Amino acid sequence: MPHLQKIYEEYDARGLEIIVVDVTERIELTKKIFDERAISLKLLLANPDESRSIFNPTALPTTLIIDRGGRVIFRHIGFYKGMEEALRREIEALIYRAI
């Protein structure tokens, strides 16, 4: 999660919004983790039905990047070495193509 906070701080001024959705209904634990790691990202709660109907994830974590037209440009399940850089490239591609 700290990697998302870092990315948010880098691109916030250029129009990036980051939303973390807790899909396991263990919000107290997630809030504690956010507090401990000084994470200020928007945190939402989705129960399993909401999560399925809105995002339909096959596994966790799932990351989506959405353009201003609401199109899901990037969808990735899991976390891998180098993902932080890949997310930056996706975000920059959308920001610069929009200019």
Partner 1 sequence: MKVGFWIFIGVIVAGIVVGSVLKKSLDKGISQAFEQKLAAADKIEDLDARLAALKRLIAEDPPDDLKRRVYRKIAATMLSAKADTSGFVRFAWDALQSERGAGSRSELFYFIYSTRFEDENEIVTKLLELDRIQWWVYNYIAYEFFERGENLEVALRVAEKAIELSESKTDSAMCLDTRGAIYLRMGLYSNALSDLEKAVALLDEPDVEILKHLAEAYIRSGNKEKAFNTYRSILLLGEYDFARSAIDSLMDLQGVSPAERDQFERELWEERISSAKTIKPFTLRSAEGGDYEFKLPTPEVTLIALMSPT
Positions in the binding site for partner 1 (CB under 8 A)? 1, 4, 7, 11, 14-24, 26-27, 29-31, 33, 42-46, 50-51, 54-55, 57-58, 60-77, 82, 85-87, 89-91, 93-95, 97-98
Minimum gap (Å) between residue 93 Cβ and partner 1: 7
* Cβ(65)–Cβ(74) below 8 Å: yes
Is the Cβ of residue 38 or residue 95 nearer to partner 1 in the bound state? 95
* Cβ(20)–Cβ(44) below 8 Å: yes
Query: What own/partner pairs with CB < 8 Å and gap ≥ 24 does 50-54 have?
Result: 51/21, 51/23
Minimum gap (Å) between residue 38 Cβ and partner 1: 15
Residues 76, 60: Cα–Cα separation, whole Å = 10
Minimum gap (Å) between residue 35 Cβ and partner 1: 11
